[in-house]
Amino acid sequence: MQRNTWEAAFEDRRETIIQDWETFLRFPSIGTDPANKADCDACAQWLSNRLQQSGFTAQIVPTTGNPFVYAVRPGNPDKPAILVYGHYDVQPVDPLGDWTTPPFEPTWRNDRLYARGAQDNKGQIFYTICAIETLIAAQNLDRTIIFIIEGEEEFGSDGLNQALDAWRDQIQAEALLVHDTGTVSSGAPTLIMGLRGILQFEFTLQGATHDLHSGVHGGIAPNAAQAAATICASLHDATGRVAVPGFYDGVQPPSDHERELAAADATTPESYCQQTGTTPDGGMRDLPTYERVGFLPTLEINGIHSGYGGPGSKTIIPAQAIIKLSARIVQGQDPQALIDSVCQYIKDQTPPGIKLEITQAHIGGPGLRFAPDAPLLPYAERALAAVKPGENLVHRWEGASIPIVARLAEVSGATPLLTGFGHENDRIHAPNESFSLEQFRNGFLYTCLLLAQR
């Protein structure tokens, strides 16, 4: 069936879809705040009831934190299942005074619905649910559909992560649909082709037991601030390459096809400067920006803290320094091996007289890269092209991380299909979050066109 069939189906149900979307947004499901635990439970219950009414077998699965909703509707047993992931938890709302209308009282202004979660992720998971209901009603869906909608995405997905292994058999699928991203700034439809993984580190450097007089001890005492500076300066060579031995182990350069697709989405120095106020001169300057962000790992200094930063001067030799680092890693790299290499390197660089303590070395998740010939990808490309005819489809190898996606892909065996209809001006995570009816409807049409029985 064609686009106009699904457009008509949307128009038919438009009033109730909007009403129910607003109901979903009224739950103050701020996942990270214990004060909102009952709201999160109620929101999960609402979702579960909703999916049950649409013919799914749904259940609320308790975790160490907020529950997740698991729902399944069996299809043709000869065809592999589709797993859909989303989250019902939302970011906190402060500063509350900056909201034009209250965050949990959904309000329409100029065809945009304003509320916390309007886009991230309630808006995007809800158009997905509505589209699947529409396909079921039209008897146009023959795949088994499995939903996992969790309540802790905005702060690490711990509960789902821990529970997931027990659900391995129930979530085996061919494709993993994740509608939690946005389009490029031009609004052109965007398919995410990869995500980087993340590692986080914190190191404490201790010299003397207390700050020392810089006159009495200057020239003798080891300086923790200087040690931090020396270590941080040793992390990269003059070309911007990470100097830690083994840091690039497992990295696979992009294929010619990937290069061609990624280059079409390249950042120019001008556009980068407009976005950020600076030039794209960090990292390995000699390589194209798309390769540095999408296909290579990085090690960034997130913070160095030591000594005196207040007004005037204070003549001390700082006793302590803290370094915070994060690495973004790519598919094919072993997160634990990288943790070990980075920690060993920092140990080796620590000057005499300074005691090193590794206060954090955390694996957020591995990197992911999707083959351009992955199953369902051509259907996703066609569906996106049909939603926005005449616009060039963008393939983006994303530099950021969604760690739970890598875990879900690994446990379910599914290939992730990541896309979404968010825009920068939706202001997710900020006051006055919103999502337009147009974006919502595009997401609905895309999901219908992707999943309609072929």
From the list 96-104, 116-124, 299-307, 325-333, the region that binds Zn ion by CB under 5 A is 116-124
Shortest distance in whole angstroms from residue 347 CB to Zn ion: 36
Q: b/e string for 205-230 if b means 16 or more Cβ within 10 A?
A: bbbbeebbebeebeeebbbbbbbbee
**Distance (Å, whole) CA 353 – CA 314:** 22
Shortest distance in whole angstroms from residue 404 CB to Zn ion: 12
Place of tokens 């635990």: 37
Shortest distance in whole angstroms from residue 420 CB to Zn ion: 11
CB 123 within 8 A of CB 117: yes
Would you count residue 120 as binding Zn ion (CB under 5 A)? yes
Closer CB to Zn ion, residue 93 or residue 354? 93
Phi, psi of 108, deg, nearest 5:
-90, 130
Closer CB to Zn ion, residue 366 or residue 420? 420
Nearest residue relative to Zn ion (C-beta): 120
From the list 25-33, 119-127, 129-137, 351-359, the region that binds Zn ion by CB under 5 A is 119-127
Shortest distance in whole angstroms from residue 117 CB to Zn ion: 9
From the list 4-12, 112-120, 226-234, 370-378, the region that binds Zn ion by CB under 5 A is 112-120
Count the site residues for Zn ion by CB under 5 A.
1
Residues sharing a CB contact under 8 Å with residue 427, sequence separation 6 or more, in sequence order = 433, 434
Per-residue DSSP letter, 92 = -
> How far does Cα 154 stand from its chain's mean position?
9
Q: b/e string for 140-176 if b means 16 or more Cβ within 10 A?
A: bbebbbbbbbbbbbbebbebbbebbeebeeebbbbbb
Would you count residue 39 as binding Zn ion (CB under 5 A)? no
Closer CB to Zn ion, residue 63 or residue 157? 157
Place of tokens 């960034």: 300
Place of tokens 């696979």: 252
Shortest distance in whole angstroms from residue 91 CB to Zn ion: 6
Closer CB to Zn ion, residue 43 or residue 244? 43
Closer CB to Zn ion, residue 120 or residue 265? 120
CB 297 within 8 A of CB 196: yes
Shortest distance in whole angstroms from residue 43 CB to Zn ion: 15
Phi, psi of 58, deg, nearest 5:
-120, 150
Closer CB to Zn ion, residue 73 or residue 87? 87
Interaction pattern, residues 71-110, with Zn ion; x per rule: CB under 5 A: ----------------------------------------
From the list 5-13, 113-121, 279-287, 380-388, the region that binds Zn ion by CB under 5 A is 113-121
Residues found near Zn ion in the complex (CB under 5 A): 120
